[in-house]
Amino acid sequence: MQLLALALYHQDNRKTPRVLRFRPGRLNILTGESETGKSGVLAIIDFCLGRRKPGLPDNPIDRTVGWYALLVEFRDGRRMILARPRSAGESTNEAFVCSGDGNLGLPRADELIVNSNAAALRGEVSTHLGIEDFRFQPAVGAARYSFDVSVAQAALFCFQNQDEIAASHTLFHRQTEDGIEQAIKDTLPYFLGAAGPDQALRQHRLGEARREVRTAQRKLDAALRQREVLDTNGIALLRLAQSEGLLSDVPTAPDADTVQALLRKAITVPPLAPISSDIGDRRQELNEERRTLRAQLQEFDAALATVDRWQRRSFDFIGELHFQVDRLKTLDLLGPERDHDNDVCPMCTQPLEHPDPSARDIARLTDRLSKELEQAAGVQPVRQEHRRALQAQRDNLAERLKSNGLLLKELMASDENMARLQEQHLRAAHLQGRIAQSLAHDRPPTDNIGQLRNSLASVQEVVSVLEEHTANDDVPAETERRLADIAADMTPWARRLMLGQSTAPNEAGISFNSLKVVIRRPEGRLAQERVGSAKNYIGYHLVAHLALHTYLRRHNRPVPSFLALDQPTQAFFPSKPRDASAVPDADWSTVTEYFRLLHDVTELNEGKLQIIVCDHVNLPDGWFQDAVIGNWRPTDDGTRDALIPTDWLA
């Protein structure tokens, strides 16, 4: 596919379209001063090939243009019109597509209507280019999306914008944008012919099969780990069941099947019968009896204390009576004094205010006290007998209380034993529940492991078969071999331009891994960014793309047959020169050689390669002037041609 014409249609359909015509199979040079719109030409061509974002300057193009149209021609002579309306925002998906024979020309402004979209446009162009219909599948596990191989990727090899052709770290168009570098790596082998849809499909199937192997291996490993965990948990449950009396004679190292069988047996063991007893009632009766006995014992203790108190008082009273009686009995020793007048003091014979008792009265008192003493002595044995009776009853109560205490102690011991039995019953029931839950939720993976092993072996066999089929599909090696063929042209052309590090035995080439130019030297490889100077960066970009397109044309690969370059001589002139032809101190011999190489490469490809160059340079050489398709400089009448006509800006 080569370009025949580029047309810009004014928003006002009454104005004449701005048409820039190209010559296929030749060098096309668009020269002129700065700010005439030369760099916009490449962006418009790229947009017409299906880009959603036009990337065009806001003024004056965006203020005046309504449609962009590109007329292209394919190898078979078929033509297509690829037109895009001006984007109202940052992007647009609308398009106009028209196909025809060799008589198809640019449409009229009123014929441009939206009849397609960008994706369909790319699809039709891809079909005419001969790009096979297949979807690129990223490697399994890659954080990228699959995509349809189309002219969208092929066009990346056809443009070198002003900032790209002088880049030190990149080689291809839009390489610095997200995902573009990887897209180039993904599709370059196909466009070079090192891989096709069949290889891509086989590689994708192999990648899927390997993913299935990894998945099957993970499942098998997980099942084995699960079985190991189940075995460990099962053995632990077996030991607990043995300790709780649910099982006996558990093997020291049982296998998985034995573990499962024993666990099932453990849950079939009937639980211990609940222990029913009237211990609580009996304990209550004993406690009631104990309280009664203690109350009665306290009553007997009080009665004994009272008897003892009476006994002590009786002893004291009797002792006092004996003392008084004995003292009074001394009156029996009196003689005639017994009849002494008790109204007179026997010592002084004086009358007494209160007469003393007579001896006869004292004798009578003594007799009465003696009788009372005899009576008191008679009561003493009765009281002692009563105390002995009370003490016997009290001792009986104490013995009954002691027996009650022993019974309560025995009852408490029995109660503790019953609690231990009840606790054991609960532990056994809880353990049976755990075992049942384990058997219900943790299915023994023995059978499943066998299935997983079979599945793994099956997918491994598929991988082996696919690896045999793809053994000859060494895409990286084949890509490197074809890049070596490209390097065979790059090296002499780099020496022709006298680029840095190009002298023998050094060789220039393209690195597939880094997508950069590399210089292969005896002492080691030199990366593109280390060759130094803008002249070398631009020179190596030129020879790399010229050699790449020469290879593509030589092998009829489905990449558009044009190379569009913007400002390839910028390294030799100041920034934005008004007219490079007026710069006196430029290295004109080197500039001439750059363009001469472009001219010679188009001649070498015998009409199969079209090169479009936008630059400030306007060399006087006849071959250069024959290649000029536009000279956007002031004319003798003061007017100046440009991408946007002067009358459009009025």
Owner of token pair 């009766």: 285
Q: Of the given ranges (335-344, 406-415, 637-646), which has the lowest mean pLDDT?
A: 335-344
| Whether the Cβ atoms of residue 494 and residue 543 lie closer than 8 Å to each other | yes
Q: Of the given ranges (192-206, 351-365, 493-507), which has the lowest mean pLDDT?
A: 351-365
Among 154, 49, 97, smallest CA distance to 561 is for: 154
pLDDT at 513 over 90: yes
Euclidean distance between CA atoms 626 and 632, whole angstroms: 16
SS3 for 40?
helix
Q: Average pLDDT, stretch 214-225?
A: 84
Q: Average pLDDT, stretch 196-202?
A: 75
pLDDT at 64 over 70: yes
CA angle 362, 364, 365 (to 5 degrees): 60
SS3 for 159?
strand
The Cα-based distances of 83 to 43, 161, 379, 410, 550 in angstroms read 13, 21, 149, 108, 28
- If 0-12 CB within 10 Å is exposed, 13-18 middle and 19+ buried, where does residue 122 land? buried
The pLDDT of residue 434:
75
The pLDDT of residue 118:
94
Tally of CA atoms within 13 A in the half-sphere of 277 that contains its CB: 16
The band of 8, judged by pLDDT with boundaries at 50, 70 and 90, is: very high
What sign has the CA pseudo-torsion 2, 171, 614, 497? negative
Higher pLDDT: 27 or 362? It is 27
Tally of CA atoms within 13 A in the half-sphere of 169 that contains its CB: 3
The band of 117, judged by pLDDT with boundaries at 50, 70 and 90, is: very high
The pLDDT of residue 615:
93
Q: Which pTM was predicted?
A: 0.65
Euclidean distance between CA atoms 52 and 46, whole angstroms: 10
Q: Of the given ranges (82-91, 113-122, 354-363), which has the lowest mean pLDDT?
A: 354-363
Q: Average pLDDT, stretch 11-39?
A: 91
pLDDT at 180 over 70: yes
DSSP class per residue in 435-451:
HHHHHHHS--THHHHHH
Among 105, 156, 155, smallest CA distance to 129 is for: 155
pLDDT at 318 over 90: no
What percent of the chain has pLDDT above 90?
A: 40
Higher pLDDT: 586 or 98? It is 98
The band of 586, judged by pLDDT with boundaries at 50, 70 and 90, is: low
Taking only the tens place, the pLDDT of each residue in 469-500 is: 777 667 888 999 999 999 999 999 999 999 99
Return the DSSP state at 343. Answer: T
Q: Average pLDDT, stretch 492-513?
A: 94
Spacing of C-alpha 391 from chain mean position: 90
Task: Give start and end residues of each alpha helix (H) in 92-196.
Answer: 118-129, 151-154, 162-165, 180-192
The pLDDT of residue 360:
64
Euclidean distance between CA atoms 438 and 440, whole angstroms: 5
pLDDT at 149 over 70: yes
Looking at mean pLDDT, say which of 230-244, 585-599, 613-627 comes out highest: 613-627
Higher pLDDT: 160 or 362? It is 160
pLDDT at 242 over 80: no
| Whether the Cβ atoms of residue 177 and residue 161 lie closer than 8 Å to each other | no
The pLDDT of residue 116:
95
Within 10 A of 561 (CB to CB), how many other CB atoms are there?
25
Euclidean distance between CA atoms 419 and 136, whole angstroms: 75
> What are the tokens at 219?
């499942």
Q: Is the previous residue joined to 60 through a cis bond, with omega within 30 degrees of 0?
A: yes
The pLDDT of residue 418:
64
Looking at mean pLDDT, say which of 168-177, 384-393, 420-429 comes out highest: 168-177
Euclidean distance between CA atoms 8 and 18, whole angstroms: 5
The pLDDT of residue 291:
87
Taking only the tens place, the pLDDT of each residue in 385-407 is: 878 888 888 888 888 888 888 88
Looking at mean pLDDT, say which of 14-18, 73-77, 245-249, 352-356 comes out highest: 73-77
Higher pLDDT: 435 or 618? It is 618
What are the residues facing 313 on neighbouring strands? Answer: none
Higher pLDDT: 584 or 163? It is 163
Euclidean distance between CA atoms 50 and 80, whole angstroms: 13
pLDDT at 88 over 80: no
Euclidean distance between CA atoms 16 and 10, whole angstroms: 8
SS3 for 238?
helix
Return the DSSP state at 620. Answer: -
pLDDT at 458 over 80: yes
